Structure 1
Amino acid sequence: MLSFRTMTHQDLPELATIEQEAGPHPWNQKHYMNSIDSGDLCMVAEHQGRIVAQGVVMLVAGEASLLILTVSRSEQGKGYGAAMLNHLIDAAAELADTLFLEVRESNKKAFNLYLKSGFSEIGRRENYYPANKDHKAEDAIVMALDLSVREWPDSHPANRR
């Protein structure tokens, strides 16, 4: 069973390990610490007492931005990314009207997850992501989800806005 909770400073070493294993452009502990301390929406998903996914949403002036969503490499392909994303969408919908994100052009798995979750491509940022030593800089696909029109169950708090 997957459970969700607010990220804490005590999670930072485990989050950093997950980030290092998950991909070539990890967040470090300081990124997470800054987000926690800034009051961003910082969540983790746990399975059997272990963090399997994490996400951070920054909220500003009625808009939300998904800053990061990471699933532990050993736990990928089990639906935890979709569950974490849906949890973050639900939480953001209580506080914002639109959720934005940027995704690497090469990250087809994440791009498709966002499309399935209702996001639309709204633009591109050329050379947004820094180059690796072996590659050139990469474009970001900018995506958005209108939280005010998402179809929620009748009991969902977003329907009370």
Structure 2
Amino acid sequence: MLGMMLDKIKDFVVYDADREFYAKLFPGSVGRKDLMRLRKMRSSDLPGVMTIERASYQFPWEEDIFRDCFRANYSCWVCEEQDTVLGYSILSMAVGEAHVLNICVAPAEQGQGIGRKMLENLVEIARGQAETMFLEVRPSNTVAIALYEDMGFNEIGIRKGYYQSENGREDAIMLAKQIF
């Protein structure tokens, strides 16, 4: 019974309080990435999420798309530091497949391991519930492509005209990873 309760709590928040304690007691002993907390996204996070979304994309999702993700029971997460949302991720799972719908880090916070931390979390959530994880990425997003390849994703195809762009539509590279 206690174990099931702890699993439910862990499902809501992925965070190690000991790290925060040691960071306060011994400044510099714990890295910033270790102090970042991953937790389930709430509707109260949407203003911060929308700020990041609009700063990151020329054609951002609208708030109603995020609300639809909540209604569909997708796995929606934020990465935060001291109550400030640094990034977010959304995962859909069905029939043995996991699909990363969105993963985004605030422009000022990119290059610090936040995207990797969020993607590792999504892989762990999907493990045991899905056999394969899929995602799409713009060919121009070379930083994201490098992360995905480093995390074991492989190109499996191209989706023609998948993304809206300034000059019409842009293709998407389709990637997949086996996650037994």
Instruction: Name the TM tier (shorter chain).
Output: 0.7 to 0.9
Question: Over the residues paired in the alignment, what is the CA RMSD in angstroms?
Answer: 1.1
Corresponding residue for residue 142 of structure 1: 174
Q: Does 1:119 pair with 2:134? A: no
Runs of at least 4 residues off by over 3 Å: none
Aligned residues: 146
1:29 aligns with 2:53: no
Whole-angstrom distance in 1 between the partners of 2:88 and 2:58:
17
- For the residue of structure 2 that corresponds to 1:126, the secondary structure is strand
Equivalent-residue separation in structure 2 for 1:19 and 1:129 (angstroms): 15
- Describe the SS at the equivalent of 2:60: coil
Could you tell me whether the CA contact under 8 Å between 2:76 and 2:90 is conserved in 1?
A: yes
Q: Which residue of 1 aligns with 2:4?
A: none
Q: Which runs of 5+ in 2 are unaligned?
A: 1-34
Shift of residue 6 of structure 1? Answer: 0.5
- Higher helix residue share: 2
1:61-100 → structure 2 map (5 Å cutoff) = 61-100=95-134
Alpha-carbon shift at residue 73 of structure 1 (Å): 1.0
Q: Structure 2: how far apart are the matches of 1:91 and 1:25? A: 28
Would the aligned equivalents of 2:59 and 2:164 in 1 still touch at CA under 8 Å?
A: no
- The correspondence of residues 16-55 of structure 1 with structure 2, limited to 5 A, is 16-55=50-89
Find the structure with the greater CA-based Rg: 2
Q: What's the TM-score, normalizing by structure 2? A: 0.78
TM-score (norm. length: structure 1): 0.87
Map 1:125-136; keep pairs closer than 5 Å: 125-132=159-166, 135-136=167-168
- Alignment correspondent of 2:36: 2
